[in-house]
Amino acid sequence: MEQTITEAPDDPRVAQRLKTAKSKAELQELVRSLDRRNMRLQKIRDDLAVQLAQARLNKGTR
C-alpha cells in the first residue's frame, strides 16, 4: 500500500527531495536526515526551556 503526501512540507528543500527521489533508499535517507534534524531541534528547544526556567528563577530572587 502506497502512502501519498497530503500536504506540502514547510521546507521547499524537503519538497524538492521528495519529488526527485528515485528510490526507496533515497526516501529512507531523507527520513533519517529529517529525524536527525528533529532531534537537534528538540535538544535546542529543551535547552531554551531550561534557560528560560533559570532566568525566571533568577528574576524572582532579586
Predicted confidence at residue 4, as pLDDT, reads 56
In whole angstroms, give the CA distance from residue 5 to residue 8: 7
Predicted confidence at residue 7, as pLDDT, reads 60
Question: How many Cα atoms occupy the beta-carbon half-sphere of 12 within 13 Å?
Answer: 0
The pTM (predicted TM-score) of the whole model is: 0.69
Predicted confidence at residue 60, as pLDDT, reads 76
Predicted confidence at residue 1, as pLDDT, reads 43
In whole angstroms, give the CA distance from residue 55 to residue 51: 6
Predicted confidence at residue 37, as pLDDT, reads 95
pLDDT tens-digit profile, the chain (62 residues): 455 555 666 788 888 988 999 999 999 999 999 999 999 999 999 999 999 999 999 987 65
